[in-house]
Structure 1
Amino acid sequence: MNIFHGIIEIAGQMGILSSALNKKGHYSIGYNTFHSYLGYEDCLVNTDQPGIEEKFEEIMETFDLFHFHYGSTIFTDFSDLPELKKRNKKMVMHHWGNDVRFHDRARVNNPFVYTGDSPPNEEIHEKLMKITPYIKDAIVQDHEVYDYVKDYYEKVHVLPIAIDLRFFEPSYPSLEKKRPVLLHAPTNREFKGTIHVEKTIEKLKEEYDFDYIIVEKMNHKEAIKLYRDADIIIDQFLCGSYGLFSVEGMALGKPVLAYIRPDLVGRFPSDLPILNSNPNTLYDNVKLLLEHPELRRDLGIKGRKYVENVHSHDVVAEKLLEIYSQL
């Protein structure tokens, strides 16, 4: 099967999924028009909007299945969808969060949520109404995103974030380390709740001896090298779910703090080892990890195991192929 991914690379997922699908005997590649300092390259054709539109006929002839991401297709007006439908091409839309996070709905179960990156509600609705006459199935990473699109598609599949564990050798926190390293890596400070992290760090510095590293605007491969030296990973505290940074932290064998909405906790596997922290509990939970190196190590070991079972790109690709078979 020839599988097209496009056209916006989010958290390296088009490339990671394509790599796993290729290993399983398919041909999969992502066409990416969104370029950032993260520098994702694996299994990608980095192009621009005019470039991908010029290749539409060639792409349509080459691929059997079209896996679109972030509410975007090859043409900005979605005029490719009726053409693909005429050719009986299989299609699925992968939504990632900010592309469909309706502002009012996000606040129903989450007093902390930040939706400043999401388009207005009317724009989200209008876009979904253009997509769904042609694409009947959607994919989301978890049930936080699920609720925003469940009424628009005939079926919504939950597929965990994927990670290629070959690039993440675990480095568990040392029990003897006297000056632990706390690390936070916001791609967007407002979305991640960085202001709460920094307030917590300033308060803890008065009581404990530790190093704090903030990683921003750095190439992804270079950032991973810094993550390996951390003892505590501090991710995001407003969204109500965890993202790729949490997965990478767990894959490296680190304890991770992030906020999981109370109503969503039961929707994740019961062995999820993330230390659930919101802006009001972040201080107490970081303090707990600073005082208990054995807990840091224990959560790190559990996190690595969790990622192997849930987020390994080989595991995720098998689930993805099952979704493809249902389209």
Structure 2
Amino acid sequence: MEQRPRLRPGRRLSFHADHRLPHPRLTTPWGRSRRMRRVLRGATHVAVDGFLPVYGRVGRSDLGEDVPLLSRQGLRVALISHGTDLRDPDAHIQRNPFSYYATAPREWVDLARGLARRHRTIAADLGVPLFVSTPDLLLDAPWASWLPVSIAVSDWWTPRPALTAARPPTVLHRPSRTVPPIKGTQIIDPVLRDLAARGRIRYLAPETVAHAAMPELVAGADIVVDQILTGSYGVAAVEAMAAARLVIGYVDPPTRALMPDQPPIVDAPPDRFAAVMEEILADPAAYADIAAAGPAFVARWHDGTAAAEALRPFLDGSIVTT
């Protein structure tokens, strides 16, 4: 197994922003409200991300108060959800026998259950458009619209095709989080370490990687193991598909049934992960076409075009907020 040098994480994600707000602890509610009014001056639409309060402090304020205020200011409001902020743990366990909620710490699951229930109630009561960034969340909020995650596709392009070299394939697994263990690393890592010890694969398992370093790391891999417990897929899988890497994950049948186009992801639920790896290693060339299909799928759904189309009814007013 190869482990690249530990990189200093720093700020893993950094994006341009026209306005930056100080941490709520560094300002008073009055000061934050005044600053937000200045930021929103001239705006016509507000998309509230992750159910975070617009004017108040996290944990002390309620969007149920903020959204009517924004509407009275003449702003059209929508909500955007990304996962645990909306997902029902009990429903997830019921449809997915490998659900990470079944093995995660009970305290964390209880907190997630209560928060998600509260957010679903807020979203339903407010009557504003709700967008979800992963398709499985449509099972928790059927009235929502899928807003596909978007990436800078050109950042991930690499000329080297996957699974074509004579040497053992290089496999990368770098979960964005390991606590709680929602990606299945506790199952994935021992299998990959064993394969690496037997010379079957070259295993990349960096401890900490800044996001800016990920395109190079992914380009050096043939296979990217994403997650095998969530039943859906997220940004890491999209980035690997954009690089035409073979993505191993698990998109459960109810989620696949919702999708208009099937993602080129090899399903490897926990009870079959080791077997799937053996199947791939026995005939890697047979999986090269699946890897090669990734960029076209990303171009259709994750380069920003599909997201813009999903937002269009909200932006042009054909979806009327209440």
**Structures share a fold, TM > 0.5?**
yes
Change beyond 3 A, Cα 1:39–1:321? same
- Look up the match of 2:89: 103
What amino acid maps onto 1:184 in structure 2? H
**1:125 and 2:117 aligned:** yes
Are the counterparts in 1 of residues 146 and 310 from structure 2 also a CA contact under 8 Å?
no
Contact 1:93/1:135 (CA < 8 Å) preserved in 2?
Answer: no
CA distance in 2, matches of 1:85, 1:216: 45
Asked if 1:66 is matched to 2:46, the reply is yes
Identify if the C-alpha distance between structure 1 residues 166 and 175 changes in structure 2 by more than 3 Å, giving closer, same or farther: closer
| Larger CA Rg, structure 1 vs 2 | 2
User: For residue 164 of structure 2, what is the amino acid of its counterpart?
Assistant: L
Q: Secondary structure at the match of 1:107?
A: helix
**Partner of 1:307 in structure 2?**
298
Higher strand share: 1
Q: CA separation in 1, counterparts of 2:193 and 2:280?
A: 16
* Matching residue's letter, 1:289: I
Q: What TM-score results when the alignment is normalised by the length of structure 1?
A: 0.80
Would the alpha carbon gap of residues 250 and 268 (structure 1) be closer, same or farther in structure 2, given more than 3 Å must change?
same
Matched residue, 2:157: 169
Aligned residue pair count:
289
Do the aligned partners of 2:200 and 2:281 also contact (CA within 8 Å) in 1?
no
Shift of the 54–218 alpha-carbon distance from structure 1 to 2, 3 Å rule, reads: farther
Q: d(CA) in 1 for partners of 2:33 and 2:274?
A: 49
SS, match of residue 270 in structure 2 = coil
Identity between Structure 1 and Structure 2 (%)? 20
Give distance in 2, aligned partners of 1:188 and 1:55: 33
Which sections of structure 1, spanning at least 5 residues, go unmatched?
Answer: 1-34
Shift of residue 125, structure 1, vs aligned partner = 2.6
**Structure 2 spans left out of the alignment, 5+ residues:** 1-8
SS in 1 for 2:236: helix
* Residue 277 (structure 1) shift: 1.0
Select 1:149's aligned residue among 141, 154, 157: 141
Please give the per-residue CA displacement for 1:32-55, whole angstroms capped at 9, x wherever unaligned.
xxx974222234644322375441
Corresponding residue number in structure 2 for 1:184 = 173
Q: Secondary structure at the match of 1:286?
A: helix
1:13 maps to what in 2?
Answer: none
Tell me by how many angstroms 1:58 deviates: 0.7
- Taking a change above 3 Å as real, the CA distance of residues 206 and 61 of structure 1, as seen in their structure-2 partners, is closer
Of residues 235-244 and 106-115 in structure 1, the stretch that sits farther from structure 2 once superposed is 106-115
CA RMSD of aligned residues (A): 2.4
Q: Offset at 1:69?
A: 1.1
